[in-house]
Structure 1
């Protein structure tokens, strides 16, 4: 798992550790020393920790003028045992919301499993972003099947065309614009 690293081709546009409004501002890490694990497997050192023992992330892009954020996720999303959504909401999302972020793109192709508990943090997140949205892109089919079991479609967009987005071929701005247009068509028919 240490060979799976966060997408880095947008680093010339945005780095979370250089953004004074980012929850990771000033963070310094050794690019060659694996320090975090998912169970007993070391992961690439560029993944950022936020309080979960099985879920890590990398903020790939933030645009404060457009109120958007693109986050890549890695690991096992386990709300049942570790309450990962609580850590994500309190330690990352609320910080971003305080800085005006209302539109969230979650890239989930490196999410291996999802174990649900209840939907209260998802509902809170959804209610906090009055004019925004939460979009889950490229999550695996079995993960989305677990999303369906607690009706996360009430709070975020996922599945369908969002399961095969070729996001690496676009700039972050082009990706956001395409997803924002998609959300507009779905949410405001």
Structure 2
């Protein structure tokens, strides 16, 4: 992780203290939070002047042995919550097989499973996940649905309806599927 310092016009790197690799990070309520490769969520407290930081464990692993974890910080219009999405991937078939969504209870550091997004949709990509409100007047996006892209193989794109647990492919031209996407453009309702 690195910060750009306007006064020096240069990047200042921060090296992790953790023996585990951070997979995903979000900025939430004035702090950076990162989940590592074993699913531990940590608050990173940076001291910009000394190029150091401390880690505070916020919660322990909820995902078990998993393929991918995503952190999602929603806007205040969507409740302002922090969520972790666990994506289970079948590497032999090259397809996503399941999503699980958890919301963090900040009072005790426990993760609570979320089975319904209501009138919201989740756009999922590493370091660029978004939870957005979806209007019934806007048929472009579906409520209670996860839109996902393949962060590794660039072949597994789709929509996952949480209500019926049904996968549908995204309608992406085959010429675009040769290159992985790195993020989403913010949908406009």
TM-score range normalised by the length of the shorter chain: 0.3 to 0.5
**More helix by proportion, 1 or 2?**
1
TM-score (norm 1): 0.36
Query: Higher Cα Rg: structure 1 or 2?
Result: 2
Report 1 or 2 for greater relative contact order, CA contacts < 8 Å, sequence distance ≥ 6: 1
More strand by proportion, 1 or 2? 2
> Normalised by the size of structure 2, how large is the TM-score?
0.36
